[in-house]
């Protein structure tokens, strides 16, 4: 399904791509590059109308925008916990399966954590009847502790308040970028409507890669470079202050005005 790299997935393109032969549609709720927020309810309904299952990747939405999986009758969802859930690199992924689908779906990777009678070490694979059937092997226990406390902190703040702050932070970012960075050749590469994006913003600039390197190495600002020429800024609502956004854009403006990024090469490092 074609999706615009700035505006995200187009529901008409999904409608044109799915039919009675479609088994599963898998899409990102918040687009990893632009932050475009897909209309989860409308797309899920459309997919269900063709008889297919709907899987949403929530990696960039969990902890940043409210996600009503049960309300929209979503079948499956997956995501990582090292973005807005604050688990840190290596923290475990998560899986959601609609209750009535659990016994119907098979875990293709057979492991002892999905096995009924885990310590019987029996000959046959006999999966548990509940959500645990999708487990495989020993989980990373230390990151599980981290994510438990990280999620407890987010739950205490509440997703509605996190979302409100995420909107306010990104609105502020966009306003400052319009005022300071547009005259320097930057263009907003995310939806302008805050209701149509998650908690991160992408800025287009022809020298985005070198600017990202200069930000990291000389300005203590850590963005992501995303292809082909985008700077992604993700002000996580739980920890980011408005003055952090202000300072980051001030340093960005300063190093572009001075041409301070020009001494960095364009060859890509392994992590961008
Ligand atoms: C859309 C999306 N899905 C999934 C992931 C996580 O992938 P993995 O669990 O392989 O780290 C990411 C991480 O950047 C992502 O952006």
Nearest CA to ligand 1 atom 3: 59
Q: Give me the sign of the Cα torsion angle 210, 211, 214, 220.
A: negative
- Residue with structure tokens 């939806």? 191
- Mean pLDDT value across residues 242-249: 98
Interval between CA 59 and ligand 1 midpoint (Å): 6
Render 148-180 in DSSP notation, one character per residue.
Answer: HHHHHHHHHH-HHHHHHHHHHHHHHHHHHIIII
- CB distance 28 to ligand 1 below 6 Å: yes
State residue 89's pLDDT score: 85
The answer to whether residues 185 and 206 touch, using CB atoms and an 8 Å cutoff, is: yes
Q: Is 95 in the pocket of ligand 1 (CB under 6 A)?
A: no
At 122 the pLDDT is 86
Residue nearest to atom 16 of ligand 1 (CA): 32
* pLDDT at residue 95 greater than cutoff 90: yes
Q: Which atom of ligand 1 is nearest to the CA of 28?
A: 1
pTM for the structure as a whole: 0.95
CA-closest candidate to residue 190, choices 213, 214, 170: 170
Q: Is 94 helix (H, G, I), strand (E, B) or coil?
A: strand
CA of 77 to the centre of ligand 1 (A): 13
Ligand 1 within 6 A of CB of 59: yes
Least confident of 99-103, 143-147, 157-161, 223-227: 143-147
Residue 137, classified by CB atoms within 10 Å of its CB into exposed (0-12), middle (13-18) or buried (19+), is: exposed
User: Rounded CA gap, 188 and 193, in Å?
Assistant: 11
Three-state secondary structure of the chain: CCEECCCEECHHHHHHHCCCCCCEEEEECECCCCCEECCHHHHHHHHHHCCCEEEEECCCCCCCCCCCCCCCCCCEEEECCCCCCCCCCCCCCEEEECHHHCCCCCCCCCCHHHECCHHHCCCCCCECCCHHHHCCCCCCHHHHHHHHHHHHHHHHHCHHHHHHHHHHHHHHHHHHHHHHHHHHCCEECCCCCHHHECCCEEEECCCHHHHHHHHHHHHCCCCEEECCCEEEECCCCCCCCHHHHHHHHHHHHHHHHCCHHHHCCCCCCCCC
**85 CA distance to ligand 1 centroid (A)?**
13
Indicate which residue's Cα is closest to atom 8 of ligand 1.
Answer: 80
Q: What is the pLDDT of residues 170-226, one digit of tens each?
A: 999 999 999 999 999 999 999 999 999 999 999 999 999 999 999 999 999 999 999
Please report which confidence band the pLDDT of residue 88 belongs to, taking 50, 70 and 90 as the band edges.
confident
Judge if the beta carbon of residue 198 lies within 6 A of ligand 1: no
Residue 93 CB less than 6 A away from ligand 1: yes
Largest CA distance in the chain: 68
Distance 127 CA to ligand 1 centre (A): 27
For residue 78, what are the β-bridge partners?
A: 57, 95
Rg (CA), the chain: 21
Q: Is the CB of 240 under 6 A from ligand 1?
A: no
The residues that bridge with 127 in the sheet, in sequence order, are 115
Residue range 43-54, pLDDT digits in tens: 999 999 999 999
- 120 Cα–ligand 1 center, Å: 34
Residue nearest to atom 12 of ligand 1 (CA): 59
Q: What is the pLDDT of residues 103-148, one digit of tens each?
A: 999 999 999 999 999 999 888 999 999 999 999 999 999 999 999 9
| Residue 228 CB contacts under 8 Å (≥ 6 apart), including other chains | none
CA distances from 270 to 18, 60, 203 (A): 36, 22, 21
* Distance from the alpha carbon of residue 83 to the mean position of ligand 1, in angstroms: 9
Residue whose entry in the numeric block shows the structure tokens 């990747």:
57
């Amino acid at each position: 399904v074609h999706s615009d790299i700035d505006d995200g997935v187009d529901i008409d393109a999904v409608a044109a791509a799915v039919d009675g032969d479609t088994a599963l549609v898998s899409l990102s709720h918040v687009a990893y590059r632009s932050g475009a927020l897909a209309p989860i309810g409308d797309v899920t309904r459309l997919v269900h109308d063709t008889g297919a299952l709907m899987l949403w990747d929530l990696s960039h939405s969990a902890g940043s925008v409210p996600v009503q999986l049960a309300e929209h009758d979503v079948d499956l969802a997956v995501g990582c916990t090292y973005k807005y859930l604050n688990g840190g690199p290596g923290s475990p992924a998560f899986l959601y399966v609609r209750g009535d689908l659990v016994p119907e779906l098979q875990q293709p990777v057979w492991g002892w954590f999905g096995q009924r009678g885990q310590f019987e070490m029996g000959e046959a694979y006999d999966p548990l009847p509940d959500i645990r059937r999708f487990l495989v092997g020993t989980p990373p226990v230390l990151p599980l502790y981290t994510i438990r406390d990280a999620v407890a902190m987010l739950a205490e703040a509440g997703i509605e308040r996190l979302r409100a702050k995420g909107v306010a932070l990104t609105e502020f970012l966009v306003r400052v970028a319009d005022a300071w960075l547009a005259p320097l050749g930057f263009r907003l590469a995310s939806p302008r409507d805050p209701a149509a994006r998650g908690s991160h913003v992408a800025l287009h600039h022809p020298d985005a890669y070198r600017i990202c390197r200069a930000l990291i190495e000389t300005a203590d600002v850590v963005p992501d470079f995303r292809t082909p020429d985008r700077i992604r800024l993700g002000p996580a609502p739980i920890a980011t202050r408005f003055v952090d956004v202000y300072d980051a854009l001030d340093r960005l403006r300063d190093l572009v005005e001075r041409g301070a990024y020009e001494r960095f090469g364009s060859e890509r490092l392994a992590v961008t």
